[in-house]
Structures are given as structure tokens and as C-alpha cells.
Chains A and B, each alone.
Chain A
Amino acid sequence: MTQYRVLPGPEHFLPPAAASMGIYLPNPGEAHINGVIVPEEKAYEEAARQFLMAQVPTIFPGPLVLWAWNEKAAKKAAAVRKLYEILKECVQPGQKPMLIPMPDYRPKYPKINPEVEINPNHPNLTIWHNKIDCCMFIGVHCHQANLSLKIIRGGTSCYTVAMCAQAGHEDAMLSFRDASVEKILKLGEWIRKLKGTVKPRLTTAKTSASN
């Protein structure tokens, strides 16, 4: 049994892949928090709590939900938009929810505009610029998501959540698997449920120096 835990960084100059440290992906019906397998229900609560605690809770939708390449993707996109609206409804003054797309995986020349997008090759730039302290990846191809999640863990203190349509992500601090419209909306329900019960860390949020 590994002692390694997937925690907010900045972890290391080059943090290890969590899978190489003995962290396993959840089975269907499960999720993981910090690399520990938990029932999915517990992960909804913790993800909602992290969102409501954050100063800049942010959703990063990727190409698999941004483009209407099939009917399901379009429905998921609508669910993501709904989740964002719920988040805006439920946060307190001073919190600033954001929805920043990862429209593709192209390296950006000459430099990315971090106010409008995030890129898997240098996701830390968008995190730093917007002072994002909690984010959720959804609709990002798994390889690119892991690339991003590890770089974020290495160089920022951002709490990462993955809503993965496949088997999940060890490199996120919290990961769901088999994401569906229902699961996205269920997270929204949990955010509503915990509204007003979680104290945002407005005064204790880390600045860009450590973020």
C-alpha cells in the first residue's frame, strides 16, 4: 500500500506521475480523493465543498464537450453550462467562478492568452494569471488531462478535480470516472445542497506567489 497522496502543490520541480507512485484508478461506482479510493457519493460532496471554498472555482471544458460532435457531447455541454450557472448562484460575494475552455491542444504561439483559454502544455500559466485555486477538467482527452494535471500539481497550489468519461485520473486530487450528464448535474445538486454551509477561504487564499 503506497503512502503517496495526491495533494495540492507546488509539489516538486518535476512531480511524479501518481500512477507510478502506486495510486490506482477507481472501479465503476467509485472515485478517488487524494489517491484514496472512496464511494462516488463521498466525492460529490468533497468536490462541491472544494468549489464552494475556493476563491476562483473554475471549470475547464475540453474539446470532447465543447464541440457538438455528437448528441451526447451537446447534452454534456449544456450540463456543464448548467453547472457553471449553479456555481455562480451558490458562491458568496468575493468569490469569482470562471468557465475557461481548453478548445484544443495546440501549443500557442507566441504565447497563450490566459484570460480566455487554457492549454495542456502550459496550464499553469492560466492558473497563475487568474489566481485559480480550484478547477475541474471535463471533456479533455485523458492523455492531455493527465499532462495538465501533473504540471498544475507540480507548480501551483490549485485543487484539481477530474470529471472523466473514461477510467478517471490519478493525477487529479479528486477524480470521478464514467462521467455523464447525470453525474455533472448531480455535482450541481451537491453544490446547491452545501450552499451557505462552507466558508470560503477569501482571506486566506494563497496569492500568485505560491499559486
Chain B
Amino acid sequence: MAEIKSHIGTQNKKGQTYTDAWKMMHEAPRSPSFYTGSEVIKEALRRASCDVMIAYPITPQSEAAALIGELFAEGYIGDYFRGESEFAVMSQCAGAAFGGARVFTTTAGPGTMRAMENFPMWAGARLPIQMIVTCRGINSPLSIQPDTIEISYLLNTGMLVWHAETAQDFFDWILKGFMVSEEPEVHLPLALCCDGFFVTHTKDVVNLTPADMCLPPYDPYRSPVPCMDMECPPVRMMRDPFIMKSNYISYATHASWQQEIWAAVERSRKHTIKWINGLIDTENTDAEVVIVASGTAVSQGREAIRLLEDEGVRCGLVKVKSLRPWPGEEIREATKNAKHIFVPEFNVTGWLAKEIKATIPNSERVHAGPHVCGGMTMPPEIIASEIKTALGLRSESLAGRGS
């Protein structure tokens, strides 16, 4: 908003310079560092001008949450505390965001599920909170291992949902995510997901922006709803029955409200495309066989493609970066030449394959798999094997003694 003074070029209390976000992310020099995904989350937050981070321990995000505590001790985060549970954390995040703060949190697996009621509330209240989801198993018997099933529950909350493949994605998208989320016509929470352990607990070379640069602070006066007003919806909506009354006006108001949330998801499309350079990445999509994947399944798919090339099978790749907004048009275009579309996933239901089937013509082209879940790894060989089997090529057995 024009009347709010620009902070660009000024310094925060840690001596970091508030920098134009586009320049910081695209033009500033980068320095390579060898970090785990959890450490990368900390380094991104160091540069994010974050007002509040609220933590609760649950594997595999606990390390990131603890590391951000160190940032607070160093003075980079405005406030930091541990909630009483995941549900409490997400409610406290809402309170902080209602008050006009830039808010960040992390969760995983059963924690995501326990807090689920809050996510549609965040979206409905237009709170641009960023939540890292380090995906893991959610069901009994207990598993702390990687599994992306929880993402499927987030897809219809009204949140933006992105799925990072690598620690580099993670670093960049945490910072860029705030820029998309906080656009006044978007102003929605972002669930930035990664595959737990595979990304959080492995080290990788990540190119970091300078530590003496940080994002401009959040400007709550650009919010599409009042920063906090106990007399107005959405807060008033929750404490008195107007919207819950049984009459046409109440229904129409609530219906229009819900539509507005999904309209805001649509509006995020152009900003997401701008900031993360498209909703998908593609390689060789003129091939008859295409792998479409998100998260670390992309990395495994890429390796499978290399194995297949050695055997003379040409295969394309679509990396789905954003799940909400959904890249329907992009996927239709990228798969228009494909006779076979394979969707490897780290979950039992194959939610990504279902989304793709609902998007493209001739959905019988989609092979929903291979799937692994409950923490199993997905060797590239099983992707290559599934593709070769579908193409009628000989494929060696990959489990047991084989034949």
C-alpha cells in the first residue's frame, strides 16, 4: 500500500538489509553450502524476516523446529515458543497471523492430521501462514518413515500446496512462498511439503543467498481482511451464529465466502508461475513415455529415465511443483504426446495419479504407479521395470529370488 513506508535498503536489528525479494532471490550472489534439509529450513528462515514461529516436536520436523529455536536465540525471529499440541500450535499461528505477523511453523504426519481443523480456518480467514510439512506415515501401526499420504488431505483445505523435490527447492520456495502467499489478492496459507527424511535428513549442496540480506517485512495493511477485528467476520463468524443460522442469506454469504477462497487459489497461479518459474518442469515431453511425479519421486524418476536410456527406451519427465494451484493446463500440454504416463508415488492411494487422471483426456494412459509406502524406498529400477513391463519389454524381477 502506497502509504506504508518502504523498508527496502534499511537494516533490521541483526544488521541484515531488507532487500527487494526478486533481486535477493534472482540476482544476489549465491554461496554453496552442504546442509541437511532441516538446516536449510533454518537458513531460509534466517533470511525471511519472520515475526513468529511456533513449534511442537514430531518426527521428522523436530530438528528443523529446534534449529529455528536457535535462530530465535540469535535474534532473527520475533517470537518463538512451543505449543501444547499440534492443534494448539496451528491455532496459535492463527492468532499471531490475525494480529498481523508473518508466521511460520513446521509439522509432519500425525501432527498434520491432528491440526487439520485449523487449515480450512486459516484459508477462510485469509491468513498467509507458511507451514512446512515434512511428510511421513500417519496410520497405525506407527511409522515415522517417509510417506506422502498426508498431502492428499491438504489438497482441499484452500491452502496453497507445493511439493519440493530437493533441499534447494526448499530453501528457495520458503522465501518465495511468503511472496506469493502475501499478495493481497491471494493472502492464503501455504503448505510447503517435502518427503521427510529423504530431504530433511540428507545432506546436499544448496546455494544460499547472502545472510546479510532478508525479505522485506510482511505488510498486514495489504491484507484483504482487517488485521484483527473481534466484531467482524471471520472472528465474529466463529463466535456468534450469524453465518450458522438457517436462512438463505447465511447460506449465500458462506457459499460466496468459500468461493472467494478458491478464487484466491486461482489468483495465486500467476504469482506462483512467476516466482517458482512455472507450476511444472518438463524434460523430453515429446517422448511416448512420460513420468509425472512430485517430491523425491521426481529424483527417482529421473534416475529411472537414465536407466531406460541405457536400454534404448526414451522417456520424458514432468516435475509437478505446485499441487494447489493445480497445473491442469500445463499437464495436459506436457502429456499430449504421451501414450503411457507413469506416476510413481510414495503413498498407498496414488492421489497424484488420481488428480492427473481427472485432468487429462484419455486417462487410460495413466499407469498409477509404482507405489511404495510406509517408509519403503523406491529404487529407480522398479520404476524402469514397471515401464518396461507396460511396454512389453523383458524386465528382471527385482524382489525375492526372482525367476
Contact = CB atoms under 8 A, between A and B. Distances in A.
Q: Which of A104, A121, A166, A170 gathers the greatest number of chain B CB atoms within 10 Å?
A: A121
Contact of A150 (B223, B229, B231, B256): B256
A16 B259 contact: yes
Contact of B259 (A17, A178, A180): A17
12 contacts: A14-B252, A14-B256, A14-B259, A63-B226, A106-B231, A107-B243, A121-B242, A122-B249, A141-B225, A146-B224, A147-B253, A150-B260
A62 to B, nearest CB: 11
Interface in A137-176: 141-144, 146-147, 150-151, 154, 165-168, 170-171
A72 interface: yes
A4 interface: no
B357 interface: no
Interface of A: 14, 16-20, 24-25, 63, 70-73, 104-107, 109, 121-122, 141-144, 146-147, 150-151, 154, 165-168, 170-171, 178, 180
Contacts of A18: 263
A165 to B, nearest CB: 6
B126 A143 contact: yes
A105 B184 CA distance: 18
Given A143-B224, A143-B225, A167-B183, A121 B249 contact: yes
Contacts of B259: 14, 16-17, 20, 150
Given A107-B233, A166-B184, 17 more contacts: A14-B259, A17-B260, A24-B270, A73-B3, A106-B236, A121-B253, A122-B252, A141-B225, A142-B185, A142-B224, A150-B256, A150-B260, A151-B253, A165-B1, A165-B2, A167-B183, A178-B2
A167 B231 contact: no
Which range contains the number of B residues in contact with the other chain?
Answer: 35 or more
Closest 3 CB pairs of A and B: A142-B224, A17-B263, A19-B263
Interface of B: 1-3, 126, 183-185, 187, 222-226, 229, 231-233, 236, 240, 242-243, 249, 252-253, 255-257, 259-260, 262-264, 266-267, 270
